[in-house]
Chains A and B, each alone.
Chain A
Amino acid sequence: MGFPHPPHPRETQVLSRWFGDAEARTYAGWIKRGGYAALEQALGMTREQVIEEVKTSGLRGRGGAGFPAGVKWSFMPRQKTKAHYLCCNADESEPGTFKDREIMRWTPHQLLEGCAIAAYAIQAEQVFLYIRGEFTEPLRIMQAALDEAYARGVLGANAMGKGVRIDITIHRGAGAYICGEETALMNSIEGKRGNPRIRPPFPAAVGVFGCPTTINNVETLSSVPHIIARGGAWYKGLSLSSPKSTGTKLFSICGTVARPGNYEVTMGFPLKELLLDLAGGMRPGRTLKAVIPGGSSVPILTAEEAMDTLLDYEGCVAKGTMLGSGGMIVLDDSVDMVYQVMRLARFYAHESCAQCTQCREGTAWTVKILQRILGGEGRPADLDVLLDLSEQMTGRTICVLSDSCAAPVVSAIRKFRPEFERYLGHGKAAARA
């Protein structure tokens, strides 16, 4: 369902089927809805079979990078010489994204089941579920579900009575967007500052506590039980478009839109229909100005571009942007593009871990330039300086937070330059008029 709204007939509900149904949160309720059958089934398969099935499904990471999940799992050492870990990324902090929160709030067992299957597949006996510190309600619900799952023997030393050890530990974050970056997340679990790590080594070789580790997003892992239960081929068949983008995806729609919420559609769904039909289009009297389709870190689409974008990994790339986390920020004609771009840059400046020079200094400098422009004191060269800084902040740093700050800035200046120039030419009062 386009939670919190009633389901829309054009949605394909796999993950969101039980959103809004409080009974599904309980162990008994989950069992009644067919829960933990997939885990039981998976534990009866070989690890290779589980990985093969997920590879067949074409499931790609829903955390932003879109890396094929089955392939990622197969990077884990076959011969286990050290502990293996699975980290579930529930740090969900990318502006515009609020889908993992809903999965955890309504279907905690769905996530636990996915974690357990993945842990089995990669020979991890321990799962760290990293939940951002602000998610107090999802944390409470996940903890209750976890306690129940232990009590019912789903988890623990003898998970599902199958002789496999699967432990899940909730690790609460404490306020840092960057901890959503997978290597920062591992550092945070280790009790360090949430600094992203340089690669190599990659997590599958040296991950959390120095051991082979796989990191997956909440939505990615929650899709796994369905893939096991109904088959990889079924999942792959859900795509409307490219064979490289399969299954369903939860799109979080927010901003100045009539019915914000989470909508689950198959990959390749037209952005236009999702926005105008499912999410109810613009608020009365407003017209669409721009859409940031994949969370705030991706290039902005103009209304025109958005209207013929297909929502899958390839479709977004074709429009010069990215599917990212599927958090769609809708901006109507009332929005001051310059101000909102400044506000996004401020987000990144606040969240930069401070390691890389370009990011630490560049994000803050970007904010200062934009603020001065907004204050009517901008200089003619400012836009070129911004573009140049952004270029030097892109593809130069340990992680892509720096790039993420540059992307909206660059695309906004390219696509909405007159709005910036109005501030430059005439100051604030004229720009607002």
Chain B
Amino acid sequence: MSDLVKLTIEGHEVEAPAGTSILEAAKLVGILIPHYCYHPALPVAGSCRMCLVEVEKSPKPQPACATPITPGMVVRVASDVARAARRAVLEFLLINHPLDCPICDQAGECELQDYTHEEGRAAGRYADYPKRYNPVEDFGPDVLYVPNRCILCTRCVRFMENVAQEPTLNVSERGDRARIGVFPGAALDHPWAGNVVDLCPVGSLLSKDFLNKARVWDLDKTASVCGGCTQGCNITLETRDNAVVRVKPRPNMAVNRWFICDEGRLGYAWLNRADRIEAPLVREGGRLVPVEWEVALARAAELVGAGDGPAVGLVSPGASCEALEAAARVLAARGEGSAGAFRVRQGPERPLAGVPDLALRAERAPNVAGALAAGFGRDWDAAVARARAAGLVLVLDESLAGLAEPVTDGALLYIGTVLPETARGAVVILPCTNVAEEEGSFVNLRGLRQRYAQARTPPGMARPAAWILDAILAALPARAARAGGRA
């Protein structure tokens, strides 16, 4: 700690390691210096000049993002000189800007809009001159480019060049003719390309998926964890009237830094599925009939407690740790020999080259480690084979896709969000919530257990699987319940 540098920023004493920029040092005392081109994930460009601050003894204002702190430095962020510099940058940025906020998806989370509101001129002086015009371009699977709103901060270009390490975006031309370009015929289709939309401080890069869907100030935001793979990227689920309409990365330096892959970003439709099981169902006289939870839980406990041989669990590695652990306890309560397994959908691994240990992982489920920790095995085929003759099969949110019917000659206790054909022979069917509808946690491939929160109200009578399983356990005859433990 010998090379700590002391300085003063806006009257606050700050101490930070040598080499820190003024902008980062200011954050330590809660001051966010306005900026556009700077982003902690990207190499410093120092080009937008929005972050100019006054530094005592320096004849010119200095870019806070690109100026390292020095001992005794005195920095002023709100001085007249600094404010005038920022006001000028805002005016320059706006002269060619279409001022089409009312129809822009970014409005409400636009850094140009926000800073202009805070410190910009009441009216521009770019009187009656024609504005630069370039048509909207389709950059790739999910990205639209609206050049007229672009402030040329080059965050998108630097992301593709330095983070994705596949320079498919460029700055084309120069002077005020400059704009962002792709090569004719090439598409911005890198598996992590969607991050450029988040990085763009204005409404120049837009997600086609989110286009015109909602005004961002109407969105509710909930901290969550991506269910797409074992990486466990932190995300924000954004909902409008109880529907998830957008997924954004939530920065976590230990897991996903500022990013998520496009599969995680765009794979949220299932969270809004309408064909859900909305009430507990029990088989009565060959028919499934909806019942109250008490009735259903009692029937489920009866099945578990029946004691006609070991039970088999077929569980999903997409279920929460809490649900998986409860499922393990239920199986243990069933008695000696009961066990469960899971399978994981596989896909190609898609690393984000510029970030160590960040990839869309081959195992496309969020809680493989959680399932293993709860005692479930990867011996899926064997479990399926055992299931056929087992007295009881407990399914936890598994689609059962590809399995022969009937899954078991014994009793099927099905807990799930939707009801696949294969599960229609179940004795008891209990509707559970999906990841957006409950609180819970996943363990990622590095063993990190991460909590997620509830973003929407579950449909009908659906309850979190962990609650359901614990309720079954509670309804068991006392002897069996006490024996509960690991599966």
Among the listed stretches B90-98, B209-217, B334-342, which one makes contact with chain A, having 4 or more residues with CB under 8 Å of it?
B90-98
B50 within 8 A of A: yes
Residue numbers in B under 8 Å from A193 (CB-CB): 171, 174
Closest beta carbon of chain B to A332's beta carbon, Å: 31
Residue numbers in B under 8 Å from A357 (CB-CB): 47-50, 89, 92-93, 151-152
- The reply to whether A354 and B68 form a contact with Cβ atoms under 8 Å apart is no
- The reply to whether B178 and A354 form a contact with Cβ atoms under 8 Å apart is yes
Residue numbers in A under 8 Å from B46 (CB-CB): 198, 398
- The reply to whether A398 and B175 form a contact with Cβ atoms under 8 Å apart is no
A200 to B18 Cα, complex, angstroms: 14
- The reply to whether B175 and A392 form a contact with Cβ atoms under 8 Å apart is no
- Interface mask (A374-400 → B, CB under 8 Å = 1, otherwise 0): 000001010001000100100111100
- The reply to whether A398 and B126 form a contact with Cβ atoms under 8 Å apart is no
- The reply to whether B92 and A361 form a contact with Cβ atoms under 8 Å apart is yes
- The reply to whether A354 and B176 form a contact with Cβ atoms under 8 Å apart is yes
Among the listed stretches A57-65, A139-147, A261-269, A345-353, which one makes contact with chain B, having 4 or more residues with CB under 8 Å of it?
A345-353
A358 within 8 A of B: yes
- The reply to whether B68 and A200 form a contact with Cβ atoms under 8 Å apart is yes
- The reply to whether A365 and B126 form a contact with Cβ atoms under 8 Å apart is yes
A352 to B174 Cα, complex, angstroms: 7
Closest to B60 in A: A395
Residue numbers in B under 8 Å from A49 (CB-CB): none
Residue numbers in A under 8 Å from B127 (CB-CB): 379
- The reply to whether B68 and A364 form a contact with Cβ atoms under 8 Å apart is no
A163 to B46 Cα, complex, angstroms: 43
Closest beta carbon of chain A to B365's beta carbon, Å: 43
Closest to B173 in A: A354
- The reply to whether B93 and A361 form a contact with Cβ atoms under 8 Å apart is yes
- The reply to whether B61 and A396 form a contact with Cβ atoms under 8 Å apart is yes
A158 within 8 A of B: no
A77 to B375 Cα, complex, angstroms: 61
The answer to whether A392 and B84 touch (CB under 8 A), given A349-B175, A360-B152, A364-B175, is yes
- The reply to whether A392 and B176 form a contact with Cβ atoms under 8 Å apart is no
Residues in B12-37 with C-beta less than 8 Å from chain A: none
- The reply to whether A385 and B125 form a contact with Cβ atoms under 8 Å apart is yes
A372 to B126 Cα, complex, angstroms: 12
- The reply to whether A363 and B85 form a contact with Cβ atoms under 8 Å apart is no
- Interface mask (B63-75 → A, CB under 8 Å = 1, otherwise 0): 1001010000000
Residues in A256-302 with C-beta less than 8 Å from chain B: none
Residue numbers in B under 8 Å from A358 (CB-CB): 49, 88-89, 92
Residue numbers in B under 8 Å from A392 (CB-CB): 84-85, 88, 92
Residue numbers in B under 8 Å from A398 (CB-CB): 46-47
Pick from B45, B63, B176: contact of A361, CB under 8 Å? B176
A350 to B85 Cα, complex, angstroms: 24
A170 within 8 A of B: no
Closest beta carbon of chain A to B367's beta carbon, Å: 44
B129 within 8 A of A: yes
Closest beta carbon of chain A to B178's beta carbon, Å: 4
Number of A-B contacts (CB under 8 A): 90
- The reply to whether A363 and B68 form a contact with Cβ atoms under 8 Å apart is no
Residue numbers in B under 8 Å from A349 (CB-CB): 175-176
Residue numbers in B under 8 Å from A379 (CB-CB): 127
Closest beta carbon of chain A to B77's beta carbon, Å: 16
Closest beta carbon of chain B to A342's beta carbon, Å: 14
Residue numbers in A under 8 Å from B151 (CB-CB): 357
Q: Which of A193, A200, A363, A365 has the most CB of B within 10 A?
A: A365
The answer to whether A353 and B92 touch (CB under 8 A), given A368-B129, A395-B60, is no
Closest to B154 in A: A355
A381 to B175 Cα, complex, angstroms: 26
Residue numbers in B under 8 Å from A363 (CB-CB): 175-176
- The reply to whether A355 and B47 form a contact with Cβ atoms under 8 Å apart is yes
- The reply to whether A353 and B126 form a contact with Cβ atoms under 8 Å apart is no
A349 to B173 Cα, complex, angstroms: 12
The answer to whether A364 and B176 touch (CB under 8 A), given A355-B47, A396-B61, is yes
- Interface mask (A325-355 → B, CB under 8 Å = 1, otherwise 0): 0000000000000000000000001111111
B279 within 8 A of A: no
A114 within 8 A of B: no
B78 within 8 A of A: no
Residue numbers in B under 8 Å from A385 (CB-CB): 125
A358 to B175 Cα, complex, angstroms: 11
- The reply to whether A396 and B52 form a contact with Cβ atoms under 8 Å apart is yes
B44 within 8 A of A: yes
Pick from B50, B52, B174: contact of A354, CB under 8 Å? B174
The answer to whether A350 and B175 touch (CB under 8 A), given A358-B49, A396-B52, is yes
B59 within 8 A of A: yes
The answer to whether A361 and B174 touch (CB under 8 A), given A392-B88, A396-B52, is no
A372 to B44 Cα, complex, angstroms: 38
Residue numbers in A under 8 Å from B174 (CB-CB): 176, 178, 193, 351-354
Closest beta carbon of chain B to A372's beta carbon, Å: 8
- The reply to whether B92 and A365 form a contact with Cβ atoms under 8 Å apart is yes
A45 to B353 Cα, complex, angstroms: 50
Residues in A163-221 with C-beta less than 8 Å from chain B: 176, 178, 193, 198, 200
A355 to B174 Cα, complex, angstroms: 9
Closest beta carbon of chain A to B129's beta carbon, Å: 5
A395 to B84 Cα, complex, angstroms: 13
Pick from B49, B52, B95, B178: contact of A365, CB under 8 Å? B95
Closest to B90 in A: A357
- The reply to whether A396 and B95 form a contact with Cβ atoms under 8 Å apart is no
Residue numbers in B under 8 Å from A176 (CB-CB): 174
Residue numbers in A under 8 Å from B178 (CB-CB): 354, 360
Pick from A178, A351, A395: contact of B61, CB under 8 Å? A395
A397 to B50 Cα, complex, angstroms: 10
- The reply to whether A354 and B129 form a contact with Cβ atoms under 8 Å apart is no
A90 to B50 Cα, complex, angstroms: 33
Residue numbers in A under 8 Å from B50 (CB-CB): 357
A356 within 8 A of B: yes
A362 within 8 A of B: yes
A351 to B178 Cα, complex, angstroms: 11
- The reply to whether A360 and B175 form a contact with Cβ atoms under 8 Å apart is yes
Closest to A365 in B: B95
- The reply to whether A351 and B47 form a contact with Cβ atoms under 8 Å apart is no
Residue numbers in B under 8 Å from A351 (CB-CB): 174-175
- The reply to whether B47 and A356 form a contact with Cβ atoms under 8 Å apart is yes
Q: Which of A200, A355, A389, A397 has the most CB of B within 10 A?
A: A355
Residue numbers in A under 8 Å from B126 (CB-CB): 365
A397 to B85 Cα, complex, angstroms: 11
Residues in A396-431 with C-beta less than 8 Å from chain B: 396-398
A365 to B177 Cα, complex, angstroms: 12
Closest to B92 in A: A361
Closest beta carbon of chain A to B220's beta carbon, Å: 35
Closest to A379 in B: B127
- Interface mask (B92-131 → A, CB under 8 Å = 1, otherwise 0): 1101100000000000000000000000000001110100
Residue numbers in B under 8 Å from A350 (CB-CB): 175
Closest beta carbon of chain B to A196's beta carbon, Å: 9
The answer to whether A360 and B125 touch (CB under 8 A), given A365-B92, A392-B84, A396-B49, is no
Residue numbers in A under 8 Å from B89 (CB-CB): 357-358
A362 to B173 Cα, complex, angstroms: 17
- CB pairs A–B below 8 angstroms (29 shown): A193-B171, A198-B47, A349-B175, A350-B175, A352-B175, A352-B176, A354-B152, A354-B174, A354-B175, A354-B177, A354-B178, A355-B47, A355-B154, A357-B151, A357-B152, A358-B92, A360-B175, A360-B176, A360-B178, A361-B93, A361-B176, A363-B175, A365-B92, A381-B125, A389-B88, A395-B59, A396-B49, A396-B85, A396-B88
Closest 7 CB pairs of A and B: A392-B88, A354-B178, A364-B176, A361-B92, A198-B46, A355-B47, A395-B60
In addition to A358-B92, A396-B85, 12 A-B residue pairs with Cβ atoms within 8 Å of each other are A198-B63, A351-B175, A352-B175, A353-B175, A355-B152, A358-B89, A360-B176, A361-B96, A363-B176, A381-B125, A396-B52, A396-B88
Residues on A facing B (Cβ under 8 Å):
176, 178, 193, 198, 200, 349-358, 360-365, 368, 372, 379, 381, 385, 389, 392, 395-398
